Structure 1
Amino acid sequence: MVARRGRPVAPLVLTDDESETLQRWIQRADSQALAQRCRIVLRCAAGNTNKQVAEELGVSPEMVCKWRQRFIDKRLDGLADKPRPGAPRTITDEAVENVIVATLERQPKDGTHWSRSTMAAETGLSQSAVGRIWKSLGINPHQDDTFTISTDPQFIAKVRDVVGFYLDPPEKALVLCVDEKAQIEAERNAAALPMTPGIPWRTHEYAHHGITTVFAALDLAMGELYGSIHRRHRAAEFKKFLATVDSTVPADLDVHVICDNYSTHKSPTITRWLAAHPRFHMHFTPTYSSWLNQVERWSGLLTDQKLRRSVHRSIQAFENDIRGWINTRNNNPRPFNWTKSADEILERLAPYLQRIPGAAH
């Protein structure tokens, strides 16, 4: 038997308090470097070798060895950076953590969210110190947003299906991301007042001239858009749009259509049309997951670059302007670059689902 070479690795055993602290630092660390050291220690404590930890975290074995030994020698204090030249810190790590915990887990007694002044009064720090801590972590208590968690029982399967087309599209097939931009309103009679230094673009007169709907199909590979405009938004109009796509796409290609769960896309009229056109295959995004459809990026560009500041005195002029914008973009089409795998998306969503009662089921 060949003797094992190399120095024996010192065992690393954590107390319950140390394990809890390391997990908390990973979630709230104001330094990614500290979070990485905590991950190294936790994996070492789980019985992994230095090489296994290095491969899993994408760091060098020497780094794993360094922080394993530093923790064994000095425990939690060993994970901090060594003092650097310059004036000593006046705000302790404990004070920083108190600000973070209070901001994320508690509300002030007289309000729904913290301000710099109320947090300063709570912690005894200056308002500027509170502001620096928040800024370093990207915390903005004055801002809010909304989101909706999908309740689709096939959420995971649909995410893998759609993302699979983005990352590995099939051969001899066309993948189209389809959606409707409905109820677009032609409005505004007169041109806006132009920007001047210190004064933004401004509008001063509105008149409603009617509404229209843009049916759009984004070619995943080429970035070209198939667009069709209709005054109504029904299964009949969607069927006409699919027929237009069918007549445009070469007959030897299968067509995979990625779209949402809107009732128009699943109506008996569309079901019968699809049965008569077997080269068309529908793939539905999960409910409340429009962000998964790449055509939403195009829809946002249409709003920002054309609709938000356009001036039209008739619905016909409005529709012609949209057609012109689509044609101009198709003269130099550019596909969007999707980079996230299904596993990465699901891993990113997991912490949010765990914080919401019933959302993970």
Structure 2
Amino acid sequence: MARTGRPKAELKLTEEEREQLERFARRARTNRELAHRAKIILACAEGHSNVDVGRRLRTSGKTVGKWRRRFIEKRAEGLLNEPRVGAPRTFSDEDVEEVVVKTLETKPKGRTHWSTREMAKQAGMSRSTVSRIWRAFGLQPHIVRTFKFSNDPQFVEKVRDIVGLYMNPPENAIVLAVDEKPQIQALERAQPVLPMDFGMPERQTHNYLRHGTLDLFAALNVATGEVIARTKKRHRAKDFVDFLRTLDKHVEDGLEVHIVLDNLSAHKAPEVRRWLVRHPRFQLHFTPTYSSWLNLVERFFGLLTERALKRGTFTSVPALRKAICEYIEVHNEEYGPFKWTKTADEILDSVKRFGQRTTRVHGRLTK
């Protein structure tokens, strides 16, 4: 049967055009959009369909068709951004590229990162111009984020185990994400908090008085979002066993209990192991080292800090305990479960890509 639909425009490249497109494609760090469009045209020139090129380059067939037509009509100039209404540009593409390359590949003498003031002095342009260039290319030299690779030899197995519990929990069982939030401080602001008013945010002093600490044990039911919690003065092995007894009373008989938790020494103490032998329905699943993000209860702890603790002022440990219990009560009344969306394969692929980028940046790419 003959194919129907709009016919694909034929695309052929001269040697000069191919060299130019390959040069554009290598500029992924300085002009990502142009590099992506050049890769589209190079793939189209190999005879692939718009759908195949889109799948290969993670874009839509419609987008591929758009740049195919633009290139056929205007050749390489058709891949450039069209001029927009406004005052004429003061600086050329080369000036902009120089700022971007300097930002990505160099550092000012005696400093760890560029500021708009330093870059403006180097590039001979205003700070606002540098700022606009950085915003256009998504560059934020003033921001740094930390990361930590897990060195757990069973990282892959543990990720698959825990994500499997979240996404496909076993039958006749309950899955609980368990952890402690230690040393929560009862902090009282040194002076009274000034409430929010028209045109004025709430204001509080930066200094405070300390009134003691407490530890919070929490178990998040992955299926329902319910939180079972107890506060303690410390988080020793016997305190953890006491919390396990609380969970044993809370979970109805006949259900297996799968607990996701981290590698704290108190979780693996002899006292805990003896208790588990006497209660075989409890099974512990440990997260990989440096991978607390795999424990869903950490999301609950983040909300607790943001909504009940960070801006609170507490004159005593009992006042702090009351605030925590009130938040948990409201959470259990109003909130549903936290839905885990990434599969184990997606997580492992993401970790792999990040590791490859890291080694590539430091010149240690292995074969």
TM-score grouping bracket, smaller chain normalisation: 0.7 to 0.9
Question: For each residue in 1:35-57, what CA deviation from the matched residue of structure 2 results, as whole angstroms up to 9, or x when unmatched?
Answer: 65245346546774433223445
Structure 1 gaps, min length 5: none
Q: Which of 24, 27, 44 is matched with 2:27 structurally?
A: 24
**Cα gap change, 1:328 to 1:4, in 2 (>3 Å):** closer
Name the aligned partner's letter for residue 287 of structure 2: T
The aligned runs of 1:36-51 (5 Å cut-off) are 36-41=36-41, 43-44=43-44, 48-51=48-51
Alignment partners' CA distance in 2, 1:56 and 1:320: 55
Contact 1:23/1:38, CA 8 A, preserved across alignment = no
CA drift of 1:189 comes to 7.7
Partner of 1:321: 323
Q: Which of 248, 266, 269 is matched with 2:268 structurally?
A: 266
Alignment partners' CA distance in 1, 2:227 and 2:169: 17
Single out whichever of 36-45 and 125-134 deviates more from structure 2.
36-45
CA drift of 1:319 comes to 2.4
TM-score under structure 2 length normalisation: 0.81
2:187 aligned with 1:187: yes
Partner of 1:52: 52
**Cα gap change, 1:297 to 1:109, in 2 (>3 Å):** same
Name the aligned partner's letter for residue 246 of structure 1: D
**Cα gap change, 1:295 to 1:45, in 2 (>3 Å):** farther
Question: For each residue in 1:288-321, what CA deviation from the matched residue of structure 2 results, as whole angstroms up to 9, or x when unmatched?
Answer: 2222222112112222222234344443343233
Contact 2:220/2:226, CA 8 A, preserved across alignment = yes
Partner of 2:117: 117
The aligned runs of 1:140-151 (5 Å cut-off) are 140-151=140-151
SS at match of 1:228: strand
Contact 1:166/1:338, CA 8 A, preserved across alignment = yes
Alignment partners' CA distance in 2, 1:318 and 1:124: 55
Contact 2:219/2:227, CA 8 A, preserved across alignment = yes
**Cα gap change, 1:74 to 1:286, in 2 (>3 Å):** farther
Partner of 2:106: 106
2:279 aligned with 1:277: yes
Single out whichever of 134-143 and 311-320 deviates more from structure 2.
311-320
Alignment partners' CA distance in 2, 1:183 and 1:88: 59
SS at match of 1:255: strand
TM-score under structure 1 length normalisation: 0.82
CA RMSD of aligned residues (A): 3.5
2:128 aligned with 1:132: no
Contact 2:27/2:35, CA 8 A, preserved across alignment = no
**Cα gap change, 1:74 to 1:160, in 2 (>3 Å):** farther
Alignment partners' CA distance in 1, 2:294 and 2:19: 40
Structure 2 gaps, min length 5: none
